[in-house]
Amino acid sequence: MKQLVQYLAQSIVNEPDAVEVTETQEDDASVVELKVAREDLGRVIGRQGRTAKSLRTILNAAAAKTDRKVVLEIVDEE
């Protein structure tokens, strides 16, 4: 899942080198954290969250094959 999120995020942003993805396993779900450059945060979230929702939909469709739940968190570094 980590590689999928990294590929999709790097395709969207202007600074693909700044994309960082970390994945942690919990009991029944995986948590994928996505960090991008400050300027690209709007691109990843999209208008009214449409891009973020689309990323989550793709991720959940891929996770359905393994019968796991995946949570995508977009991290805003301050």
**CATH number (domain holding residue 13):** 3.30.300.20
What are 31's strand-pairing partners? 24, 71
Confidence band, pLDDT 50/70/90 cuts, at residue 78: low
Q: How many residues are there in the chain?
A: 78
- pLDDT at position 67 is 86
Domain containing 23: what range?
A: 2-75
pLDDT digits (tens, 9 = 90+) for 17-59: 999 999 999 888 899 999 999 999 999 999 999 999 999 999 9
Domain count, the chain: 1
- pLDDT at position 37 is 92
Q: Is the pTM of this model over 0.75?
A: yes
